[in-house]
Copies of this chain bind each other. A is one copy, B any other.
Amino acid sequence: MEKWKTIHSEYHYKTPFGNLRKDTCQMPDGRVIDGYYVHEYADWVNAIVLTKEGKIVFVEQYRHPANDLFLEIPAGKMEEGETPEEAIIREVREETGFISEKKPICLGEFFVNPAVQTNKVISFLITEAEQLVEQQLDETEVIDVHLFQLDEVEGLISGKQLSQLFSVSAYYMAKDHFKKATVK
């Protein structure tokens, strides 16, 4: 199976949160696809953050596209020049005030949605976190921090209080990581 060729690209917009590109592509058999929209984003990072007491740290905020409040794990985009580890440590500190002396454990690196967008999300597990600093939010961010026991999370998922895919996905990866760590 072969890749397509891009014959022409034009930008609809560029913003700090992402760019929208419209491509004209040629398939390997010569057919032309006119108008494939590509959403360009920087890579994202997120983390399951466990406190020293073994609780899991969630953030709650209003998400305009889905028009509701969402419980999620801390997350954000990588800034220019940052490693994924640096980005997640910064995001967790800014959104929640939690920091840890332990190095983040990488759970995996995945293309978010390669049919529509360009970027990956890199998921981490951060353990032994403590809330030692103040939240530092962007001008339009309003974020509440909530702590739950680890064994309450599956009830939140089945009860649909936790309904954002990235958060659920990272939780299951972390759970799998704990099981493997216990088995060893």
Complex contacts, A114 vs chain B, CB 8 Å: 63, 65-66, 68, 70, 164
- Copy count, this protein chain: 2
A134 is an interface residue with CB less than 8 A from chain B? no
What sequence of 0s and 1s flags, for each residue 155-184 of chain A, a beta carbon within 8 Å of any chain B beta carbon? Answer: 001001001111011001101100000000
Q: A140-B27, A157-B108 are in contact. Are A64 and B163 (CB under 8 A)?
A: no
Question: Is A20 touching B20 in the complex (CB atoms < 8 A)?
Answer: yes
Q: List residues of chain A with CB under 8 Å of any chain B CB.
A: 1-4, 6, 12-13, 15, 17-18, 20, 23, 25, 27, 31, 33, 35-39, 60-70, 108-118, 120-121, 140, 142, 144, 157, 160, 163-166, 168-169, 172-173, 175-176
